[in-house]
Amino acid sequence: MSKVIEDRVLDARGLMCPMPVVKASRELAVMQPGQVLKVIASDRAARTDFPAWVEDVGHELLHSGQESDGTLVFYVRKREETD
Amino acid sequence: MIFKQFRYEPAGQASYLVACGTAKQGFVVDPIADLGSDFYLLEAADLGVTLIGVLETHIHADYISCARELALQAGVPHHLHESALGRVSYQFSPLKDGQRLRAGKVELEVLWTPGHTPEHVSYLVEDRSRGVEPWFVLTGDSLLVGDVGRPDLLLGDAALDVMDEVERAATLYRSIKQRLFALPEHVEVYPNHYGGSSCGGVNLSGKASSTIGLEKLLNQPMLQPDAAGFASFVRETSRPVPEGYKRIKAINLGLAEREVAELAVALNAQAVDRALTRGAVVLDVRPALRFAAGHIPGAVNLQFNRPDLADRALLALPTDLEIIIHGEPEAVATEAVALLIGAGFRVAGYLRGGLASWEGAGKPVSRMRVLSVADLQEHIADFQVIDARDRHEYRRGHIEGAFLLPSSSAWANASEAPKNLALAVHCGEVARSGLVASILTRAGRNVSLVAGGMSAWRDHGYPEVTETAK
């Protein structure tokens, strides 16, 4: 895939469940539809938890990966307003 | 000139010491209770500086101020703009626009810059030992680096708020445009907030200093064509409203009491017992497995972690509870007290000496049964499984028959847990299950904690049920 450019970065390293998802939700709430949030997390559970949440709330997970130090990285595109 | 910027990272908050290096006299500006008045007194003492006043740029809504305590301890005036008269319940020394404050060769001019709040001032600083030219300005929450202080933190009481959000935005625009942007471009800008603070918007820089010239070129809200464009830009780029801000503001107005001093109070077992009798709740911040091995009866478990303990507590518990911290070692307990007070909780103190002192005083200790996932799988028919994760995690895969009780709603919904069997509580691993299991135990249920949670269940290849997403 071509390189994804994020509009905002959320550094959620060091946060415990469920804060990475809670904080990502707060960040996305103030972003524009179509904008991309990059989330960096260290909580192991985020690997499955985060994509599940993205799918549930209808945003788009563009890319996810893991750095060599175990840090998880997710790129989420905010969904268009459906209301 | 002595100039120190003190950053309190968890709140993205900056406070200041401004003093004359010759006269060794100075002012503290916008002190924060999370650092505490002793911190500022010791910093000044290290430099041989005598404080002659405590200044605030405005009445804060996102952190608890310790300006009153500091002024009282130092025996010096506490200064706010005169328009705060009648709105705060305590005495202060009122400032007028244009007034000058002197500490030896250092002079501060009061610039009334309302908007973020009606009584907001900035302090323009000159070092007369170098010349009569302003050097820097402490802008509080008016002009921030890359952003401006949000105008929408209202209490909903017109007598206390004075201006509504629309008027505040227009006033803030004028204050910055006409007062601050009229200063020479070389003047340095030192704000009250930076980085992740919710007092600014999404354009707030992580760097806690700038210059008037640079902000005129690059400050996004102020680059909007007019006051109306400014107002809508600020509204659209605001961050979520800070949690607990009404209570914090009320405390800073002197209208609500912190039940407790700003310092962590060490309580012996008798004092903790008395507090429990009057309805206080012990928040046990040790890891869940240590909690299970022995805890004060009725304690709620929420594992300590500096970056998010306060956030998780706000999600899980109502802020009007009276809380006593049980953390070990003591440094963890006192830090937890500070974090929770900073989030607006009523914290009576912490248990001195931890569980050993509680047991030593002859008080009863409760224990919680811990199940491995293998234990649970083998005896699954004997338990009602409680899943403490959130709905999206539950949908992706849960133990058959599990009842979903997310950690954020457990306090309110504990009574909804099925009542037929003993409960076995799990989450992803163990952080949230400790919270939910402890709340259910308080509610009188027979509760076991499942060590390792869903991760361990999956590692063992045990079956799970999935739901398709909506």
Q: Which of B325, B360, B395 is the last residue of a domain?
A: B360
Q: Which residues of B touch A20 (CB under 8 A)?
A: none
Question: Shortest CB distance from B202 goes to which of A18, A30, A48?
Answer: A30
Residue B222 lies in a domain: yes
Domain extent, residue A27, equals 8-77
How many distinct structural domains can be found in chain B? 3
Instruction: List the catalytic residue out of A16, A17, A22, A52.
Output: A17
- For residue B153, give every residue at least 6 positions away whose Cβ sits within 8 Å of its Cβ, in sequence order, or none: B61, B62, B116, B117, B199, B241, B242, B245, B249
Q: Is the dihedral of CA B201, B203, B209, B215 positive or negative?
A: negative
The domain spanning residue B317 has which CATH number?
3.40.250.10
Instruction: Give which of B328, B313, B318 is closest to B431, Cα–Cα.
Output: B313
Residue B417 lies in a domain: yes
> Other CB atoms closer than 10 Å to residue B412's CB: what's the count?
12
Contact between A56 and B470 using a beta-carbon 8 Å cutoff? yes
CB B319 within 8 A of CB B345: yes
Residue B261 lies in a domain: no
Query: CB of A33 within 8 Å of any CB in chain B?
Result: no
Burial tier of A82 (Cβ tally within 10 Å: 0-12, 13-18, 19+): exposed
Q: What is the pLDDT of residues B67-94, one digit of tens each?
A: 999 999 889 999 999 999 988 989 999 9
Residue A30 lies in a domain: yes
Provide the pLDDT for residue B470.
45
How many distinct structural domains can be found in chain A? 1
In angstroms, rounded to a whole number, what is the distance separating the alpha carbons of residues B153 and B234? 13
- End-to-end Cα spacing for chain A: 31
Question: Shortest CB distance from A26 goes to which of B240, B427, B432?
Answer: B240
Which of A6, A9, A16 is the best residue to mutate to test the B interface, defined by the most B CB atoms within 10 Å of its own CB?
A16
Question: Shortest CB distance from B305 goes to which of A16, A21, A49?
Answer: A16
Do B205 and B322 belong together in one domain? Answer: no
Domain extent, residue B142, equals 2-252
Q: Which of B341, B360, B379 is the last residue of a domain?
A: B360
Residue B422, beta-bridge partner list: B383
The domain spanning residue A44 has which CATH number?
3.30.110.40
Query: CB of A40 within 8 Å of any CB in chain B?
Result: no
Could you tell me how many CB contacts below 8 A there are between chain A and chain B? 69
- Tokens (6 digits) for A83: 């209301």
The domain spanning residue B63 has which CATH number?
3.60.15.10
Residue B260 lies in a domain: no
Residue B140, beta-bridge partner list: B191
Do B203 and B317 belong together in one domain? Answer: no
Contact between A29 and B240 using a beta-carbon 8 Å cutoff? yes
Contacts 24+ apart (CB under 8 A), B44-51: B44/B17, B44/B19, B47/B2, B47/B4, B47/B17, B47/B19, B48/B24, B49/B2, B49/B17, B49/B19, B49/B24, B49/B25, B50/B24, B50/B25, B50/B26, B51/B25, B51/B26, B51/B27, B51/B76
Active-site residue, A10 included: no
Question: Shortest CB distance from A52 goes to which of B201, B308, B396?
Answer: B396
Q: Which residues of A touch B237 (CB under 8 A)?
A: 30
Q: What is the dihedral of CA B151, B307, A52, A3, to 10 degrees?
A: 80
Do B420 and B310 belong together in one domain? Answer: no
Contact between A15 and B408 using a beta-carbon 8 Å cutoff? no
CB B150 within 8 A of CB B62: no
Do B381 and B328 belong together in one domain? Answer: no
Do B321 and B447 belong together in one domain? Answer: no
Q: What is the pLDDT of residues A2-11, one digit of tens each?
A: 577 899 999 9
CB B90 within 8 A of CB B68: yes
Query: CB of A9 within 8 Å of any CB in chain B?
Result: no
Rg (CA), chain B: 26
Contact between A52 and B395 using a beta-carbon 8 Å cutoff? yes
B229: region left, alpha or beta (phi > 0 left; psi from -120 to 50 alpha): alpha
In angstroms, rounded to a whole number, what is the distance separating the alpha carbons of residues B328 and B336? 10
* B105 HSE (CA, 13 A, CB side): 14
Residue A33 lies in a domain: yes
Q: Which residues of A touch B429 (CB under 8 A)?
A: 17, 44-45
Do B38 and B174 belong together in one domain? Answer: yes
pLDDT band at A24 (very low <50, low <70, confident <90, very high): very high
Do B379 and B320 belong together in one domain? Answer: no
Residue B48 lies in a domain: yes
Residue B467 lies in a domain: no
Bridging pattern class, strands B346-351 and B322-326: parallel
Residue B217 lies in a domain: yes
Which helix (DSSP H) or strand (DSSP E) does residue B189 occupy?
strand B188-191
Furthest-apart CA pair in chain B: how many Å? 83
Residue stretches of chain B with pLDDT short of 70: 258-264, 468-470
Do B425 and B286 belong together in one domain? Answer: no
Closest-CA distance of chain B to residue A3, Å:
23
Residue B414 lies in a domain: yes
DSSP code at position B175: I
Burial tier of B97 (Cβ tally within 10 Å: 0-12, 13-18, 19+): middle
Provide the pLDDT for residue B469.
47
Q: Which of B229, B252, B275 is the last residue of a domain?
A: B252
CB B108 within 8 A of CB B100: yes
Query: CB of A45 within 8 Å of any CB in chain B?
Result: yes
In angstroms, rounded to a whole number, what is the distance separating the alpha carbons of residues B150 and B198? 8
